[in-house]
Chains A and B, each alone.
Chain A
Amino acid sequence: MWRYTVRRLLQAVPVFIGTTLLIYAMVFALPGDPIQALAGDKPVPENVLRTLRDKYNLDDPLLVQYAKYMWGLVQGDLGENYTGQSVSEMLGGRWAVTAQLAITAWIFELLIGIVLGVWAGLRRGKLADTLVLGGTTLVIAVPVFVIGSLAQILFGLRWQIFPTAGTDDGWPMSYLLPGIVLGSLGLSYVARLTRTGLAENLRADYVRTARAKGLSRTRVVGRHALRNSLIPVVTYLGVDFGNLMGGAIVTEGIFNLPGIGQQVFQSIQLKEGPVVVGAVTVLVLIFLLVSLLVDLLYGIFDPRIRYE
């Protein structure tokens, strides 16, 4: 396990550098003035442009720019908006909201997703299976922002089961509906992965062995088959966190939750490019970090991987 951990950590280094360099190059190194480009067609005063060029070290060679940018990032400096406001200050109080939303979504999709997956996997080819497969396909086909908007109309306005928007009711009430919306896509994949994995593992030799050992069905399914079926689910959790971060922008926008995502959402409308770049870069970094953690978790979950 120790060797596996070290190897994964070492592998993560080039990914962190490569990914951030990629973003940086795409945003700041393309022809034209990146600061003006980030503002779209919005006019930016010449002195602001100059300050920002200076702030982002755009007169240095690319790698030096990148190194300085990254150094700032590590120290919590995410750049500056056209108004001279620090991006990290703009995001300051918003982390808690996004974290609560993401955790709500994660709990929802794991809990319900695994339950639905087990239900369908045990009844492969029966009505339950068809329902879960059909339902999850539908959820995957409908974009999160449509699900969110419909949920807001129906559950928030029409039936008034949940608050329509904002965080006035605190956690969990204000976060339930957005969390379900945000987690719906992940739930679909978790359910499908669990279902396929379980249906396959139920036919595995070691499940037959477990039955021959005289174990109860609950134990055969719950301990032996399910444990193996959840391995792909764990792998998926890393990828899913990326979807979750992207979905948070949409969901926080729709439900008016004052988190990082909403800041990105509003900054896109207001054409505040530097804020979008700073905030999204941080979200990508968080995603990479979570992926790394999930990878390490995977080593615990599937002992075979440790000895490759």
Chain B
Amino acid sequence: MTAEPRKGDLVPAPRPDAPLLQVDDLHVRFRVRGQDVRAVNGLSYTLAEGETVAILGESGSGKSVAAQAVMGILDTPPARVERGSVRLRGVELLGLPERRRRAYRADRIAMIFQDALTALNPVFTVGDQLREMYRVHRGLGRRAARDRAVELMERVRIPSAARRLGDHPHQFSGGMRQRIMIAMALALEPDVLIADEPTTALDVTVQAQIMRLLAGLQDELTMGMVLITHDLGVVAGVADRIVVMYAGSVAEQSPARDLYARPAHPYTRGLLASVPRLDRRGGPLVPIAGAPPDPAALPPGCPFHPRCPRAEAVCAVERPPLVTVAPGHDAACHFAAEVHAEQEVPGAGSV
């Protein structure tokens, strides 16, 4: 897949043995009307090629901001990546000057967004927007770029692709628009795809189609995928690993299967209990009490403690570190081991 040399590879040299994408201790702040909003506070995860990591969190948990920081497309100011590191095959992206950073965007790391209607430019035809990828990044001529654009649209299974090249985004259905979004992101066959709530704006039946399409293309291109979502249902079938974010930092991370079976953080436990699941029907749904904290005024200690059913005095004072409860399974909770040891998620268990 990566036969042709890429301009992003020239300097500094990537290390083939390094992880595909490694995000380490990422911190992002916003200054909004004199207030300091801490959107991301120490996010870390690693992504291998062909792997799917799901980043799960409520709205406002910082998951989209973190993704945009990885892409390097945050508005700065007001946003500021305070510290941390984002390495692609060992190459640190955060310190790179914009010109060099740009070469990675779309070419090595691509991103698709939630609402394709607003994320596609309304005044250009989809053909224009697809061709632009090849014309700008690959220097292809009009004809060649057009042919590649048609191929792309066929690849994401848009019927009569050649004819629809001249249509504008608003002339497509929601599902078709998201396919175009995906086609555009995959145009240069990136190594990493960040999908930010790719199916949230779609009907349930279309959601499944889009997820299947993404999974198929991921296999085909052996891409690593970061799937950002608030929807446990979307995650279930596709994620290899899950990172649960709360108030801008990692609450828990684990292989997908483990997380569902034995969550080690009360927040994850609460999430699982609040969602209807086909495999465990009959039990009552238990919502998590309270609301997510205001990122401009995070509570001291563990950010989840005001809503946590098992909070104790220490939680309001001391911020819990990530502790490993099983191989590859960490949770940021003072009582992670105890929570992990409990067998069933309350409320979801009784058959």
Contacts and interface: CB of A to CB of B under 8 A. Distances in A.
* Contact flag (A, B; Cβ within 8 A): yes
B134 to A, nearest CB: 11
Contact of B123 (A203, A214, A227): A227
Contacts of B168: 303-304
A213 B184 contact: yes
A215 B113 contact: no
Contacts of B250: none
A215 B105 CA distance: 8
Interface in A214-260: 214-217, 219, 224, 227-228, 231
Given A214-B103, A214-B106, A215-B136, A307 B121 contact: no
Nearest to A224: B121
Interface string A66-78: 0000000000000
Interface string B86-127: 000000000000100011111100110101001111111100
Given A206-B121, A228-B122, A304-B122, A212 B171 contact: no
Interface string A268-305: 00000000000000000000000000000000011110
A151 B150 CA distance: 57
A203 B119 CA distance: 11
Contact of A228 (B102, B105, B121): B121
A212 B113 CA distance: 10
Nearest to A217: B98
Contacts of A203: 75
A209 interface: yes
A208 B103 contact: no
Nearest to B108: A214
B184 A205 contact: no
Nearest to B121: A206
Given A204-B118, A205-B115, A213 B106 contact: yes
Given A303-B168, A304-B168, A213 B120 contact: no
A8 interface: no
Contact of A303 (B68, B98, B102, B122): B122
Contacts of A128: none
Most chain B C-beta atoms within 10 Å of own C-beta, residue among A206, A208, A214: A214
A206 B118 contact: yes
20 contacts: A205-B115, A205-B118, A205-B119, A209-B119, A209-B120, A209-B184, A211-B73, A211-B105, A212-B106, A213-B105, A214-B103, A215-B132, A219-B136, A228-B121, A228-B123, A302-B123, A303-B170, A304-B123, A307-B170, A307-B171
B182 to A, nearest CB: 12
Interface in A159-211: 203-206, 208-211
B178 to A, nearest CB: 13
Given A214-B136, A307-B171, A205 B113 contact: yes
A208 B73 contact: yes
Contacts of B145: none
A212 B122 contact: no
The 5 closest A-B pairs by CB, nearest first: A214-B105, A214-B106, A205-B118, A206-B121, A211-B73
A46 B133 CA distance: 78
Contacts of A304: 122-123, 168, 170
Contacts of A228: 121-123
Contacts of A231: 123
A214 B137 contact: yes
B105 A208 contact: no
A151 B345 CA distance: 80
A254 B190 CA distance: 64
A212 B115 contact: no
Contacts of B171: 307
Interface string B212-223: 000000000000
B56 interface: no
Interface string B172-205: 0000000001001100000000000000000000
Contacts of B104: 214
Interface string B43-63: 000000000000000000000
Contact of A210 (B75, B121, B137): B121
Contacts of A302: 122-123
Contacts of B102: 214-216
B231 to A, nearest CB: 20
Contacts of B181: 209
Nearest to B105: A214
Given A204-B118, A212-B111, A215-B136, A303 B123 contact: yes
A212 B121 contact: no
A231 B168 CA distance: 16
Contacts of B75: 203
A225 B137 CA distance: 20
Given A214-B102, A214-B106, A208 B119 contact: yes
B332 interface: no
Nearest to A203: B75
Contacts of A303: 122-123, 125, 168, 170
